[in-house]
Structure 1
Amino acid sequence: MHPGPEVHDGPIRRWYHALSQLQKWLVQGLAVLLAVGLVVVGFHLPGLLRHPYCADSGATTVKHVSGECIGVSDGSYVFAPELAGVEHAIRQENQMVTAQHPGEYVSVVVLLPISDSSGSIEAMSNVVEQLRGAYIAQYSANRKPVDGIVPAIQLLIGNDGYQANQWQAATRIIQDTQRRTRLAAVSGLGVSLSTTVAAADYLTGTAGIPVVGGTVTANEFDNIRDFIRVAPSNHDTIAVAVQYADSRQFKNAVLVQDENTSDAYDSTLVAGFEQFADSSHALVGRETFVSTPRTQATTDPQRVQADLMIRNRISQMPPDICTAQPAAVLFAGRGEDLAELVADLADRPCLNTPITIISGDDVTNLTFTPAVKRGLDTNVTVDYAGIANPGEWTAPSPDPATTAKGAQGFATFSGYAGQLFPGLPLSDGNTMTAYDSMLSAISAIRLTSQPQPTLQAVAGELGALHGSNEVLGASGPLDFYADYDTSKTGSDPDGKAIPILRLGTDGQSSVLTMEVPKSQVTGK
């Protein structure tokens, strides 16, 4: 090997030393730049690599939106592990439909706020129940005439996220789905929030898609053009609840109210229960709490903090309720918060005094815990105006003809439910109501007498669903007039009987009686 060049003192040596230093600095600088670059890339890598779609194939379009997967699935994309079983069944039915009826099928989206985050008003168990109900209607209508047998029905699952906060992204995906597929209607919606009202307005108005609501009960849904709902309005359910309170001869009550104005369910319950006070009845107390922070929360820690605040406020109410000595407590809030009140009443200072709570249908979202049972065991009774219940057709009713039709519709539903989900407990009305929502949409679609009807044709048949075209639902006969211009309740079912239920100490509800609001006029 040749020795390196001999460098003597002088200008050449100084030049060689400077060149060596420059080389050293360049290497060190490149190393630093490379390290910084790796840190930056590493920090942003998840965002750079994450595809904008959770899934995008065929009829399935699901996008990443604010940390959630929002959009529409034919069952090939599973929104939550708890939904895997029913989504798999829906996917199999959809595959049968597209394979055996390639030129004679349409799609219906069942839109729900699917979220496993704490504080979600729509519990995942309720989502499962509602998807089951929609699937039972799809499956039965593809085999048994429902105003005909054409077109066949493809069921798509729509998700607008936690508290339906991503309704804008979801409805635009549905609108785009309508352009690319054979969408004929949307059903479901899930919960009565301002976000859900906005979704219904956008779908029916801007997108021009007819919508059949399921468990949404807020009065804001009373008169939306090209929208009908199978559930009675809060106006009617609370009118029945007040009638029930009057029949029990309750002359005074304490009103417990959620002041969350963005929750349409709560605000309409408050307005309804205000009507209790008249010349022979009095509100002798009022207790308030606010669930707005929970509705507006965007992270789990925020939701946990909001829940703690709500529970703390409700825990302060029992002593004041005891002081007021009411005949009844009118609860205008969500089931999850009612659970807290029932649990806290177990430690009330007036344990020897019975407490009767009267509320609306969201009692079905109450999580039954040992603490709730303990409260009920201290002579606390929870009665509520519901939407549907399997026991309603064996309960006392003011109309035998309605009872007979209701029993017929429920028999069809329960027969298919038992076939598809052996041993399925039908403990409340979520599955029944989702079935009725989908069945009503299918009836409107089939009445068009078109193998692939236009959206306008389907919307035009919503007002035909009465008389000879009455829908025999699991929750009773359903009649719609869709008289949006001449009525303030054009979207509501006409003359629908409403069950009064009692929450038992085993967590199950039983039907006390069936009622129709005295103010409601049938055959309008």
Structure 2
Amino acid sequence: MNTPSRLPGLRQGLRQGLRHRWFRLGRGVQTLLLAGLVLAVAVILLVLVDRLTDDSCAPGVVERDGECVGVTDGSFVFSPHLERVSARIERENDEVRASGQEYVTVALMIPMTLSGEVGREQILKEVQGAFLAQYRANHQDNDAGPLIRLVLANPGRDSAHWERVTEQLIGMAADDSDRLRAVTGFNISQRPAGDILTRLTGAGVPVVAGPLTADNLGNTAEDPEAFPGMVKIVPDNGDQAAALASFQQAAEGEGDGEPLLVYDARAGDHYNSTLYEIFGGELAGAAAYEPMKFTSSGITDTTGVAAQFRLMIPRICNLPDTVNTLYFAGRPTHLRQFVNELGEQPCRRFTVISASGASTLATDTELNWDVLGKGITVRYSALAHPDAWPATADPVGGEHDAMETLKTLAAEHAARIGTTDLEDSRAIVMYDAVWTAVEGIRLAAAAGAVAVPSAAEVAAVWAQMSQGYGVSGASGWICLNNHGNAHNKAVAVVSLDPDNPGRLRFDGLAWPQGAPPGTDCTIPNRAAAS
């Protein structure tokens, strides 16, 4: 055993031995060793710095402003509530790649990192609906091709990082491996939706918009190439307003009163502004009193809004009792505040009418459901409803079997992706959007006798999707006119059920042109120019 008194000598001997061996190596070897040591230290430092500054969340997904944005095949989960459905999408995509068969990619582009339970539930339903359409396309469509690969594109909260994600999608359309042939989604009519659509369609990427209802976000007779290669499968705000007005006039005992318009004057919101214009136009000859204005600070910002309503309600109550139908041109968060305040100051029975954006109201935990028992009816147009097509009804404007197909798919996959709630239309519409993209892609493939149609071939086929080539959607028949808009699309009219908090009551169907479309999706000349 070495004693402490002998250790200094051992250390000195060791140092001398190492120094002697170092000098025996020669200058050339010494230089190489030192260079290697420096390089090793540099590599270690670079790795450490890279790990500290790496902004990658996953392949195709990066971190920006505290959230992960980009495009994923389901292997990355943008939010915990999407974990189960993302896993199923990833598995389906893996099977598509491994099949050896021809495939194309369809993207679902919506903000997937919303805050708040209502927003998260909305996104979950939309992603579930998209997956169910993908699964049906790959397993329940008579072995039709090409197969469908679904990717999720998250532009971030308020679509703040839309430019980066949009460029990714454009790159995927040009990539022979991705073969992106359609982008679906677009679930909110506000900036920068128009910028995204302009960039995508300008780059030749076909688009199938989901619950996008603003009249100025689409092609028209006046501007038929505003968004070349884009289609809208839902009735826009103008069609909804026309259908609602027709339905309300026919509603027993409720169409006898006078209307009043209440609107949000906040600038930059396509949904609010088009509702104001359309409701105002519909009520021009019937409304005897000036519309009542409030101003919000944002889509979900409630600051100061309740105080404005608190002053507005007495003004409404001071109008003649015949003013009992209130048309609301605003976002659902502010509609909830308005209804709550109306119930706090009851003066007579009112029917409050709004458009499809109100679909989240039923699940808004801050809505005071008790006010519905004070003579307040909240009615709005819905883009779809699971009870719209009973088995006993003739197939006019929609079909029972189409909705039953979706219901069956949802039930079969509930254990894997969770329960898909169809009542508020979110899942139904996104299912139909993806299914319309699938139908267009496969129609283009068949027409061109190709396994994988080009993006241009897909965009060109939209104009043919009527008169025998319309889509039998779960939300109703989708008959696309020359501008890519759904002709005379069914509007489901629903109201909050006062006896069942959180649930809707299906009131009936209404039609923008007052009657259902023809049974073969034929579009009259007067509608083709609309």
1:18-97, aligned counterparts within 5 Å?
A: 49-56=52-59, 61-97=60-96
Q: Which residue of 2 aligns with 1:218?
A: 214
- Tell me what 1:416 maps to: 409
Which residue of the other structure, out of 112, 127, 131, is the alignment partner of 2:110?
112
In 2, Cα distance between the equivalents of 1:503 and 1:332?
A: 18
Aligned equivalents of 1:415 and 1:283: distance in 2? 49
Over 3 Å counting, the alpha-carbon distance change for 1:283 and 1:153 in structure 2 is: farther
- What is the RMSD of the two structures over their aligned residues, measured on CA atoms? 2.5
Match of 1:376 among 338, 356, 372: 372
- Structure 1 residues 383 and 46 mapped into 2: Cα distance closer, same or farther (>3 Å)? farther
**1:184 has 2:164 as partner:** no
| Deviation sequence 1:345-399 (CA, Å, 0-9, x none) | 221051xx111101100111224336420221221101111110101113998xx
Alpha-carbon distance in 2 for matches of 1:307, 1:74: 36
Q: Which runs of 5+ in 2 are unaligned?
A: 1-47, 220-226, 518-522
What is residue 138 of structure 1 aligned with on the other side? 134
Residue 239 (structure 1) aligns with:
242
Spell out structure 1 runs of 4+ moving beyond 4 A. 45-48
- Are the equivalent residues in 2 in contact too, given 1:250–1:328 (CA < 8 A)? no
1:264 aligned to 270, 289, 296, which one? Answer: 270
Aligned-partner residue type, residue 403 of structure 2: F
User: 1:431-442 alignment to 2 at 5 Å?
Assistant: 431-442=427-438
Between the aligned partners of 1:414 and 1:312, the Cα distance in structure 2 is 43
1:124-135 alignment, distance < 5 Å = 124-135=120-131
Q: What is the CA–CA distance in structure 1 between the aligned matches of 2:433 and 2:102, rounded to whole Å?
A: 22
C-alpha distance in structure 2 between counterparts of 1:110 and 1:258, whole Å: 30
CA–CA distance in structure 1, aligned partners of residues 318 and 134 of structure 2: 53
Q: SS of 2:307's equivalent?
A: helix
**1:127-166, Cα deviation, whole Å (9 max, x unpaired):** 10010110000001101227x6111101000111222232
Q: CA deviation at 1:494?
A: 1.2
Deviation of 1:402 after TM superposition, in Å, equals 1.7
Equivalent runs, 1:353-502 vs 2, <5 Å: 353-366=348-361, 367-369=363-365, 371-394=367-390, 400-402=394-396, 405-421=398-414, 424-449=420-445, 450-481=450-481, 483=482, 490-502=483-495
Shift in alpha-carbon separation, 1:250–1:79, aligned structure 2, 3 A: farther
Q: Which amino acid aligns with 2:443?
A: L
- Whether the 8 Å CA contact 2:328–2:354 is kept in 1: the answer is yes
Deviations 1:258-296 (A, max 9, x none): 1123111111100011023344x11424322223x325x
Identify the match of residue 169 of structure 2 among 137, 160, 174. Answer: 174
On the 8 A contact 1:73/1:158 being kept in 2, the answer is yes
2:61–2:68 contact (8 Å) kept in structure 1: yes
Letter of the 2:407 partner, please give it: S
User: 2: distance between equivalents of 1:63 and 1:443?
Assistant: 32
1:252 aligns with one of 243, 255, 258: 258
Specify the alignment match of 2:298 in structure 1: 294
Q: Give the Cα separation in 1 of the matches to 2:401 and 2:454.
A: 31
For the 8 Å contact 1:388–1:429, the answer to whether it is kept is yes
**Bigger Cα displacement from structure 2, 176-185 vs 83-92:** 176-185
Amino acid in structure 2 at the alignment position of 1:80: S
Give the Cα–Cα distance (whole angstroms) in 2 for the partners of residues 290 and 48 of structure 1. Answer: 46
Secondary structure class of the residue paired with 1:240? helix
Is 2:69–2:156's contact at 8 Å kept on the other side of the alignment? yes
Q: Equivalent residue of 1:496, what SS?
A: coil
CA distance in 1, matches of 2:391, 2:492: 9
Q: Please report the TM-score for the alignment, with normalisation by the length of structure 1.
A: 0.80
Please give the per-residue CA displacement for 1:59-114, whole angstroms capped at 9, x wherever unaligned. Answer: xx11223333221111111111111111111111111111113x511110011022
> Match for 2:190 among 160, 174, 193?
193
Which ranges of structure 1 fall in alignment gaps of 5 or more residues?
1-44, 296-302, 484-489
- 3-state SS in 2 of match to 1:381: strand
CA distance in 2, matches of 1:135, 1:210: 19
Displacement of 1:46 in angstroms is: 10
The TM-score normalised by the length of structure 2 is 0.79
The amino acid that maps onto 2:93 is N
Q: Tell me how far 1:241 sits from its aligned partner.
A: 1.4
Count of matched residue pairs: 449
Corresponding residue for residue 21 of structure 1: none
Comparing 435-444 with 167-176, greater Cα deviation is found at: 167-176
> Residue type matched to 2:68 in 1?
C
Q: In structure 2, how many angstroms separate the alpha carbons of the residues matched to 1:335 and 1:162?
A: 18
**1: distance between equivalents of 2:466 and 2:279?**
31
Q: Specify whether residues 50 and 519 from structure 1 end up closer, same or farther in structure 2 by C-alpha distance, changes over 3 A only.
A: farther
User: Which of 302, 308, 311 pairs up with 1:307?
Assistant: 302
Q: Give yes or no for contact 1:257–1:286 (8 Å, CA) kept in 2.
A: yes
Could you tell me which residue of structure 2 aligns to residue 282 of structure 1?
A: 287
